[in-house]
Amino acid sequence: MTNGDTRTLLWFRRQLRMHDQPLFECLDQDREQTIGIWIVDPREHLDDTMGFRRTGPHRMRFLLDTAESLRASLRRAGTELLIRIGEPECILPEVTRDLEIDRLCFVQEPGSEEREIERAVTSRIDARVTALAPDMLLEMDDPVSFASTLPEVFSKFRRHAEKRIDMARSRSTPSCIRGIPLPRDFDEGVPGDLAGSIIESRDGTRAAMKFRGGEIHGLERLRHWMHEGDHLRHYKETRNGLLGSEYSSKFSPWLATGALSSRRVAEETLEYEDRRIANESTYWLRFELLWREFFRLHLLKHGPALFHRTGPAGISLTYRNDPSHFESWRTGTTGIPFIDANMRELSETGFMSNRGRQVVASFLSKNLDVDWRWGARWFEHCLIDYCPAANWGNWAYAAGVGADPRGFRGFDVLKQARNYDPNGDYVAHWLPERLDGLHGMARHMPWKHGGRAPVVMPEDSLDAARTRWENAPRLDSADPPFRS
Ligand SMILES: Cc1cc2nc3c(=O)[nH]c(=O)nc-3n(C[C@H](O)[C@H](O)[C@H](O)COP(=O)(O)OP(=O)(O)OC[C@H]3O[C@@H](n4cnc5c(N)ncnc54)[C@H](O)[C@@H]3O)c2cc1C
């Protein structure tokens, strides 16, 4: 029974952490009792109309570990995290009734599907709703109205942000939280049960690094990579790497689940600069965090248009969509080692370098003439760091229908291979059985050394894509949003 205190339900969505937690900021600890909830929405995770689930095994395992870690932290602080599977607009009214909740508190997300769900929850719930503004790196009162005037070009946004907007400071974490006592036999929900029903677990044995979900592991990676290993010092020179665990921060899976806050990462770079060195590399990590911020605002600005074939730029490219081309790309069997090695790394580990992502995305949408959204969906399935804004924003950009001021930009795969994998070490690591006996650049062109011909020849197919892009009609309004 209630004791006069407000009973508040905290709906944890993509901020699965204790540090810098926006939900704690809105609590009145003297007058509120609290309980948390995390919901696995089948529409977001289990839907498989393209022949594969939206959330694949690597990300699901990472997410469940993250939720388990948050539950342990909340328990230590004095409260509980309920875990449920179902649609939030059904689950939340039910829990609100069962636990006599007075107030529901959540953080808004930039995604259009997420915002629709927020509206459905708000209209169905019998409790006061506090919807906090999206969690941003930069200090802004109203990200939604800021987004409405966002420049289409990143560098314009960056210059404005660097001159005029401060980075926001991390929020403080309460040492204890007054929980809502649960009725006897009330089911808290067990992530292990979900794992049993929806995970087919696989471990990539060739992976350079094992990603473990949860705030503790995210903070540990931050400490290790930046401070102990001192890798930030050379980040600008190493960040285009392909092999190994330290060439880039690998913070993305923790940032995407919110187990690590972008504010905390930015603050640590400033602290590092005070204590060790300030150089182009230390600046560059914040530069990349601004890209992340830009894509979040870009999604807020464009909403469902980001998921259109024609993208936010409204360029009406049509695609041949040969299913065998898509399959060869997805399964890493195009016959072009640089593409296949990256695609194999992605499906075995749930991770791919930024260089790899740019090249394979360009290759699918341009050389293979396949709708970029098919690729975005496959990334969504595989990536442990999947985040709607970064994934769909970068895909649209790579396909030439997104936030890019320049003209046609297609990657020459063999040039990329020469620049970033000159000895063929990366492709040999992922495709050892195919490249036996080949060395250096020969590893990137096995068809010139007795191997089978690739599904398309890289140069010819890129020229054809350029012509299609240049001739594509420019639209005033985009066609209907993509729903798989
Ligand atoms: C087609 C495509 C799809 C992508 N999908 C995703 C995705 O779903 N989720 C995701 O987090 N990133 C995505 N990225 C961006 C980028 O590739 C990854 O953030 C980066 O490779 C993660 O590795 P890292 O943490 O070591 O990055 P670092 O180089 O160490 O960068 C630090 C952080 O900056 C942010 N960042 C860096 N580059 C970008 C970028 N281009 N866009 C947005 N944020 C960036 C990330 O949060 C990253 O963790 C995508 C890029 C492409 C080209």
**Domain identity same for 291 and 413:** no
pLDDT, tens digit (0-9, with 9 covering 90-100), for 418-440: 999 999 999 999 999 999 999 99
**Domain identity same for 107 and 160:** no
- CB of 354 within 6 A of ligand 1: the answer is yes
The total number of structural domains in the chain stands at: 3
State residue 213's pLDDT score: 96
Instruction: Tell me the mean pLDDT in the region 398-402.
Output: 93
pLDDT, tens digit (0-9, with 9 covering 90-100), for 282-326: 999 999 999 999 999 999 999 999 999 999 999 999 999 999 999
pLDDT, tens digit (0-9, with 9 covering 90-100), for 21-37: 999 998 998 899 999 99
**Domain identity same for 59 and 73:** yes
Position 335, amino acid: G
209 in a structural domain: no
Long-range contacts of 339-347, Cβ-Cβ distance < 8 Å, separation of 24 or more: 339/363, 339/413, 340/427, 340/430, 340/431, 340/434, 341/426, 341/427, 341/429, 341/430, 341/431, 342/242, 342/430, 344/430, 344/431, 345/204, 345/206, 345/207, 345/430, 346/379, 346/382, 346/383, 347/382
- CB of 252 within 6 A of ligand 1: the answer is yes
**Domain identity same for 374 and 248:** no
Q: How far is the CA of 288 from the centre of ligand 1 (A)?
A: 8
190 in a structural domain: no
Position 92, amino acid: L
Q: Give the domain CATH number at 287.
A: 1.25.40.80
**Domain identity same for 239 and 151:** yes
pTM: 0.96
392/375 Cα distance (integer angstroms): 10
**Domain identity same for 103 and 129:** yes
Q: From the centroid of its chain, how far is CA 79?
A: 28
**Domain identity same for 363 and 461:** yes
Does 184 or 194 have the greater pLDDT score? 184
What range does the domain containing 393 cover? 308-471
Q: Are 321 and 273 in contact (CB under 8 A)?
A: no
2 in a structural domain: yes
pLDDT, tens digit (0-9, with 9 covering 90-100), for 341-372: 999 999 999 999 999 999 999 999 999 999 99
Q: How far is the CA of 441 from the centre of ligand 1 (A)?
A: 28
**Domain identity same for 257 and 347:** no
Domain final residue, candidates 249, 277, 301: 301
Q: Give the domain CATH number at 81.
A: 3.40.50.620
Which ligand 1 atom is the nearest neighbour of the CA of 262? 47
Which ligand 1 atom is the nearest neighbour of the CA of 295? 43
Mutate which of 354, 359, 378 for ligand 1 pocket (most atoms within 8 A of beta carbon): 354
- CB of 317 within 6 A of ligand 1: the answer is no
Mutate which of 385, 392, 401 for ligand 1 pocket (most atoms within 8 A of beta carbon): 385
pLDDT, tens digit (0-9, with 9 covering 90-100), for 136-177: 999 999 999 999 999 999 999 999 999 999 999 999 999 899
Domain final residue, candidates 301, 316, 345: 301
What residue owns the CA closest to ligand 1's atom 30?
249
204 in a structural domain: no
- CB of 384 within 6 A of ligand 1: the answer is no
- Based on its alpha-carbon atoms, the radius of gyration of the chain, rounded to whole angstroms, reads 23
Q: Which DSSP string corresponds to 80-135?
A: -EEEEES-HHHHHHHHHHHTT-SEEEEE--SSHHHHHHHHHHHHH-SSEEEEEPP-
- CB of 361 within 6 A of ligand 1: the answer is yes
Mutate which of 281, 284, 292 for ligand 1 pocket (most atoms within 8 A of beta carbon): 292
Q: How far is the CA of 390 from the centre of ligand 1 (A)?
A: 7
Residue 197, pLDDT > 80, answer: no
Task: Report residue 483's pLDDT band, with 50, 70 and 90 as the boundaries.
Answer: very low
388/299 Cα distance (integer angstroms): 8
State residue 195's pLDDT score: 54
199 in a structural domain: no
Residue 484, pLDDT > 70, answer: no
Q: How far is the CA of 447 from the centre of ligand 1 (A)?
A: 32
pLDDT, tens digit (0-9, with 9 covering 90-100), for 241-257: 999 999 999 999 999 99
Residue 84, pLDDT > 80, answer: yes
Across the strands, what pairs with 32? 6
Across the strands, what pairs with 35? 9
Residue 375, pLDDT > 80, answer: yes
158/139 Cα distance (integer angstroms): 14
Q: How far is CA 223 from CA 184, 384, 408, 415, in A?
A: 41, 20, 40, 35
Task: Report residue 405's pLDDT band, with 50, 70 and 90 as the boundaries.
Answer: low
140 in a structural domain: yes
**Domain identity same for 13 and 128:** yes
197 in a structural domain: no
116/119 Cα distance (integer angstroms): 5
Domain final residue, candidates 242, 271, 301: 301
User: How many of the other CB atoms lie within 10 Å of CB of 471?
Assistant: 8
Q: Give the domain CATH number at 372.
A: 1.10.579.10
- CB of 281 within 6 A of ligand 1: the answer is no
**Domain identity same for 420 and 451:** yes
Task: Report residue 47's pLDDT band, with 50, 70 and 90 as the boundaries.
Answer: confident
**Domain identity same for 442 and 316:** yes
Q: How far is the CA of 415 from the centre of ligand 1 (A)?
A: 22
- CB of 108 within 6 A of ligand 1: the answer is no
Residue 98, pLDDT > 90, answer: yes
**Domain identity same for 351 and 458:** yes
482 in a structural domain: no
Instruction: Tell me the mean pLDDT in the region 195-212.
Output: 69
**Token representation of residue 184:** 């006897």
